[in-house]
Structure 1
Amino acid sequence: MENVITFKQMHVVSTSLGECTAELRVGLEHTNPTGTLHGGLASTLMDTVSILSYMTTSNGTIGQTIDLKLSFLKAAKVDDDILIIGRTVKTTKTLAFLEADIVNKNTGDVLVRGSEILHIVKQYHVV
């Protein structure tokens, strides 16, 4: 089980009101058969960091993703350091509109750009 993907490999490096940034070094376990960052993992990373950005503004509410759109602009390869940057654009009583980018940390190139709509469903409690 040496190639198991875990969120232990992604580290949150900064948060502020409505924003969250995390980083990850792309490993072989993060890639598709062509050797680049797997699109499903990119989607998961963006969804996770976007929701974390919302949680900085949410007063204890959480939601479910009801729409997620991604544009894959450039590939990330093994040993690339990437930043996942999530932003809360707007919130209403029942919806949150979020954006995220995956950026090559060394070049600044935007690799993936996405938007998300979150349906706000309930209070959460940190245990």
Structure 2
Amino acid sequence: MQPATMESANEIPLLKKLGIRLAEIGDRHATMELEVDESHGNYLGGAHGGLIATLIDTVCFFPRPLLPSGRLVTTTNLNVAYIRPAGVGDRLIARSELLHLGRRTASLTARVTDGGGGSWPTGRSRSWCWMSRGPGDGGPPPLPEKYHSRKDDHVP
């Protein structure tokens, strides 16, 4: 698998459809942003909880030691605490922090804010990490070619 980049992450079809954008890849953190619109609504008119869970889950893949380093990762456990609802027009910023990276697992936490200090949901993610590079080594199938990064645009 090729290391993930800002460009390749922002081309993931589900994230594009939802309007989720990777904004930063850090040494032990990552941030993603989203502006809630009518298409994100639940029955009551607020942001659907699944949207928030997707935001939290996805931002946890992008601290530099994980996907940006070419490490294969999948979520094994995701817990989300919905502190208050988000509504149409709210700008959400999710920031993940890598708490632990072992040989086979990673533990992360994520917090969603409005950029001005207001808190929305928080989450914890536990992920399985493959040290392999593809299906022959027990890992998942490789990503489609269109998601591979070019050698010159790898985020160090």
State the TM bucket, normalised to the shorter chain: 0.7 to 0.9
Q: Is this contact kept in 2: 1:36–1:76, CA < 8 A?
A: yes
2 CA distance for matches of 1:102 and 1:83?
5
Q: Which runs of 5+ in 1 are unaligned?
A: none
Q: Is this contact kept in 2: 1:46–1:114, CA < 8 A?
A: yes
- The alignment status of 1:29 with 2:39, answered yes or no, reads yes
- The alignment status of 1:60 with 2:70, answered yes or no, reads yes
- Does the residue aligned with 2:121 lie in a helix, a strand or coil? strand
Question: Which of the two has greater helix per residue?
Answer: 2
1:114 Cα deviation (Å)? 0.5
- Does the residue aligned with 1:75 lie in a helix, a strand or coil? coil
Aligned residues: 120
1 CA distance for matches of 2:133 and 2:84?
37
1:123 Cα deviation (Å)? 2.8
- Does the residue aligned with 2:103 lie in a helix, a strand or coil? coil
Identity of paired residues, percent?
23
Q: Which amino acid is 1:109 matched to?
A: G
1:12 Cα deviation (Å)? 1.8
TM norm structure 2 = 0.70
1:11 Cα deviation (Å)? 1.8
Question: Which of the two has greater strand per residue?
Answer: 1
RMSD: 1.8
2 CA distance for matches of 1:97 and 1:123?
21
